[in-house]
Structure 1
Amino acid sequence: MSSLPNSSFHYENLFKQETKPFLKPEAFLVGVCGGSASGKTSVCREIIRQLKGKKVDIIAQDWFYKPLTKEQRQDSANYNFDSPLAIDLDLLAEKLRELKKGKVVQCPDYDFVSHSRTKKTHQVSGDVILIEGIFTFETKELRDLYDMKIFVDVDSDIRLSRRILRDTSERGRTINGVIEQYFRFVKPGFENFVAPKRKFSDVIILRGSSNIVAINLLLDRIKAELQNHKPQKQIPFIYNRYSKDLEILSIPTLKKVRVKN
């Protein structure tokens, strides 16, 4: 065939033999920690709104609650959801490591009414991943995975009022039940586990999403960090000049295969 290269090569040689670097950046992971109902999700939404030109996604730590047993569900009012033991932090770290490699991950979904995982999953990928929750700074393994750590600090009275509104409207709870749970589990959990992790943050946002000045300064810092963010190792690819396909390879080079005349 006259249109093809030297016929002394196998068809593999329709591909250019010289590899070129395909630079796939690692996902930039931002840990967002703070007390219950401090406005972590609202801060994340504002970051997403303003980070134009970047694919930004969110992981909610709440997706990783461990399903309750039948006995625990029957007595869920006495179950401590404000302990790190209630969260599958190992699974969360596993998903973050995959995102660091540029992979698309499937995260679990948790139903707070039945206290179980649903069949639904959350697909997560992007240039920037925001991981929000009360225990996102809990382990050194998690903290070391983040490229930036943000702590959202809001007055406890405001957090309680927000929690009452949220849990009664979204999680099927009574006002009395929310208040009792707050003083029995939520407040001690914040004081024992969450507040001490404030020291690990790179940025503290007082008053949450209403602090526009702080969020704008934070965005400037994120944009600057993204400019300096290192890509992954070079992944070789071969460009097929005939099919116009991009072939991503798991091998460093494609060797020529000669056929004896």
Structure 2
Amino acid sequence: MGLNDLIPVLLLILSIYGLRQRKFKLAGAVCVAAVSAKLSMLVALPFFLIYLYNNKALRQRLAAFLIGLSISTLFFATPFIFSSGGMQMLFSNPEMKSIYRLMLDLGGNVSIYIVPLIYMMMLYLTWRFKRFNFDLFQAATGLAFLLIVFMIPGSPGWFVWSMPFLAFYQAMSGRIAMILVGIFSGLYVLSTLLITPLPLANGLVFDLGAFFLLEGRFGSHAISLLHTIMVAIGVMIAIRIWREAISRNDFFRLSRKPFIICIAGDSGAGKDSFTDAISGLFGQHSVVKLSGDDYHLWDRQKPMWQVMTHLNPMANDLEGFCHDLVSLADGKAIQSRHYDHQTGKMSRPLRIKSDDFIIASGLHVLYLPMLRECYNLKIYLDINEGLRRHFKLKRDVYQRGHTIEQVLASFEKRGADSARFIRPQSSYADLILSLQPIHPWMLEKLDDQHPLRLQLVVKTRRGLNEFSLNRVLIGVCGLHIDMIKGENSEEIQMTIEGETSAADVAMAAEILCPQILEFLDIQPKWQDGMAGLMQLVTLSHINQALIKRFIQ
């Protein structure tokens, strides 16, 4: 009655659990143990590999899984590989032959085997998932086992393969799922009893099939009718699993197209540093950066810079920037150059692939109306002017090789263009982040004895759950918050003061927006202080923008 299938299924579930706990070597080793106990467990192995490869955060752990897989294969498979009897037992047993019974005869000794065809189609559809989380993995794997179970009238134990996955599905779904799975399970048991006599004690045999056959004409069709009904219920369950656990999976729906963030602000506002901070949360493997500096029309040595500044839109290829952004949003790769701030020259064209998150940063990312329509979240960095000059002077002198005189001259030269072209872009932003010294005199007495203390002013026009954010910042991070609501209830201004650690920010994120944690890297790089708070506030807005996709 299939009791020997309990062991391989148990091993398979332990392997899946190891994957869930991120013990990849153990998961690979136990997966091979499951296959060695029952060759049919091989059905699940490609789904393991697809999951680890298509989940970009886990792709680097695929090697660990393969190491466990290889070591276990050497231990379990070697005796069978060098044994003709073992190979015959594996590939020539009656259960394996039942896979080929369902076929489409094309004539001329050529047939199409339906079960392998559907299984390969299932693998292809699974491979097409651009991003994979654990719920999608177990739903796709369970669906593959379920399709095999109700298409092949094989051993009764085959139903055991799908039982854990049906339990997973019932846990994620509602009462209708429980009813359908209950009916399917009952019909499968009844169908099995009609096909297979049940041995009892003292040599007695309970043969339900023989009993029905005694009922005349109806009895001759009872088994086929019952199996047909069972398959119909199984198809309903398969459709519901695909619809509810896969196509309506929140992770699947939210990750089907790239999420685009724009970070605007004046020169020296911290756009690059903030871009790196956000990239550190999602991982470099999931983020592509598009910098407006790479679309300057001329190298620094060209005479055109004598009559206009980088802040002038006419000095930048904004149409090319817009075209490349749209291409990345459509999932296409682009050819772009990189502007080297130290040499002032452009690199050769580089191929840039699209990714799950696109961060567009620069002086003019909110300048064109068409650009503003591309973004899912628009951020403007409105840093305190004195603080901006301090940071820009420090960056351009120590990192980009400029002289102090050149930087000071650029402040005077670019002031008019900044007021005309850059600062008005803040009116189009959903979120404005402004770093300010707690007291203006701090910039005048900045030294080791008088460290710079900052506050973060957050302005949002999109609206957010400010009460939850306020509660988490005070209760978890221990910060002081002043909050002002504008005449429009969606406009909120929060002033945040205090010091916090990266660990507190990470804990606050788990409380504030747990839905988005699956999109983060395995070990997101949270930062201390105001940078970490900017990460947290931005993540809460990304979470809100992702949820908004459900109603669009």
* Alignment partner, residue 244 of structure 1: none
Partner letter of residue 225 of structure 1?
A: A
Q: Which residue of 2 aligns with 1:216?
A: 536
Q: Counterpart of 1:85 in 2: which secondary structure?
A: helix
Matched residue of 2:373: which SS? helix
Letter in 2 for 1:95: D
Aligned 8 A contact 1:167 1:178 in 2 = yes
User: What residue in structure 2 maps to residue 32 of structure 1?
Assistant: 263
Aligned-residue sequence identity (percent) comes to 21
The answer (yes or no) to whether the contact 2:367–2:425 under 8 Å persists in 1 is yes
Q: Does the Cα contact within 8 Å between 1:107 and 1:124 map onto a contact in 2? A: no
Moved beyond 6 Å, runs of 4+? none
Aligned partners of 2:400, 2:312: CA distance in 1, in Å?
19
Contact 1:33 1:152 in 2 (8 A): yes
Q: Would you say the 8 A contact 2:333–2:351 is kept in 1?
A: no
Q: Are residues 122 and 194 of structure 1, via their aligned partners in 2, closer, same or farther at CA, if it must alter by over 3 Å?
A: farther
- CA drift of 1:54 comes to 7.9
Cα distance, 1:45–1:110 mapped onto 2, change above 3 Å: closer
- Number of residues of Structure 1 aligned to a counterpart in Structure 2: 225
Name the one with the larger helix percent: 2
CA contact (8 A) 2:277 2:531 kept: no
Moved more, 161-170 or 27-36: 161-170
Give the SS at the match of 1:93: helix
Q: Which has the larger radius of gyration?
A: 2
Question: CA offsets, 1:203-239, max 9 Å, x none?
Answer: 1111178254343122022123234547xxxxxxxxx
- Residues 153-191 of structure 1: CA deviation (Å, up to 9, x unaligned): 101122122222222234332211111121112x22221
Q: Secondary structure at the match of 1:151?
A: strand
CA RMSD of aligned residues (A): 3.3
Map residues 1-261 of structure 1 onto 2, 5 A cutoff.
Answer: 6-8=105-107, 22=128, 25-51=256-282, 55-68=286-299, 73-74=302-303, 76-112=305-341, 115-121=344-350, 123-185=352-414, 187-207=415-435, 210=530, 212-229=532-549
Structure 2 CA distance, aligned partners of 1:169 and 1:53? 26
Q: 1:224–1:10: structure 2 CA closer, same or farther, 3 Å change rule?
A: farther
Q: Deviations over 1:27-65 (max 9, x none)?
A: 111111011111122222222223369812221111111
Give the TM-score taking structure 2 as reference length.
0.36
Residue number in structure 2 paired with 1:246: none
Instruction: Identify if the C-alpha distance between structure 1 residues 122 and 62 changes in structure 2 by more than 3 Å, giving closer, same or farther.
Output: farther
Shift of 1:106: 3.1
Structure 2: tracts of 5 or more residues without a match: 1-99, 131-255, 436-455, 457-528
Secondary structure, in 3 states, of the residue corresponding to 1:6?
strand
Equivalent pair of 2:261/2:357 in contact (CA under 8 Å): yes
Change (3 A) 1:66 1:51: same
TM-score, normalization by structure 1:
0.72
SS of equivalent residue, structure 1 residue 7: strand
The more displaced of 119-128 and 141-150 is: 119-128
Residue pair 1:137, 1:197 contacting (<8 A) in 2 also:
yes
Contact 1:154–1:206 at 8 Å: present in 2 too? yes
Going from structure 1 to structure 2, the CA distance change for 1:176 and 1:205 (only over 3 Å counts) comes to same
Post-superposition CA distance 1:72-92 (Å, at most 9, x none): 625745542221111111111
Specify which structure has the higher proportion of strand. 1
One-letter amino acid matched to 1:36 = S
Per mean C-alpha deviation after superposition, the further-off stretch among 204-213 and 27-36 is: 204-213
